[in-house]
Amino acid sequence: MERLNSAESTDSAGFREVLGRFASGVTVVAALDEHGEPAGLACQSFASLSLDPPLVMLCVGTTSSSWPKILRAGRFGVSVLADDQRDVCAALGRKGADKFAGVEWETSAHGAVRVAGALATLDCAPHAIHEAGDHYVVTARVLGLTAREDGRPLLYYRSDYATGVFA
């Protein structure tokens, strides 16, 4: 086995390079802000946590300007992006206002924002938040779910999008 990074240090560049070898799906976390406008962010640090009760977890940077708006809403949607939604990921991954320009979305019965065309959506309510380094680890209770029968996931690998073979 060839070692790509033999440094024993855990500086941020090496840490990012090594952890970039872990492929992950991409989600959008979004809610309506106090003005009724969608606020959201792209998130690749997302996972299931518990079946009983149904919980998920996600990690959000402490410097995110979107997260406080999402948290204040008390409900948020997690949309699992499809492989044809790179533009949605790019839009929600940027900083600044009006991230939803050109992005189709809807509001669920729970008041969560869902991205149209997503592979799956989860309506969530914050359960617990823990500060961990430069991120918050957020656990959330799942209130509702939807899923498409077709489609492939948008994957992120080595700081770029990746495709995989799925049955």
Element (H, E) at 15: helix 12-19
Q: Which residue has the higher pLDDT, 40 or 96?
A: 40
Residue 6 in this model has a pLDDT that exceeds 60? no
The rounded distance, in Å, linking the Cα atoms of 91 and 102 is: 9
State the average pLDDT over residues 150-159.
Answer: 88
Under the banding of pLDDT at 50, 70 and 90, the label for residue 166 is: low
Which is nearest to 104 in space by CA: 123, 124, 84?
A: 84
Band the pLDDT of 14: cuts 50, 70, 90.
confident
Amino acid at 10: T
pLDDT of residue 157: 82
Query: Residue 156 pLDDT more than 90?
Result: no
Q: Cα–Cα distances in Å, from 16 out to 13, 131, 133? A: 5, 20, 15
94-97: long-range pairs with CB below 8 Å, 24+ = 95/65
Quick check: helix, strand or coil at residue 76?
A: strand
Determine if the pTM surpasses 0.85.
yes
Q: Tens digit of pLDDT for each residue in 94-138?
A: 887 789 999 999 999 999 999 999 999 999 999 999 999 999 999
29 contacts 43 by C-beta, under 8 angstroms: yes
| CA dihedral for 12, 17, 23, 28, sign (positive or negative) | positive
Q: What is the CATH number of domain 24-148?
A: 2.30.110.10
Q: Would you kindly state where each structural domain of the chain is located, as residue ranges?
A: 24-148
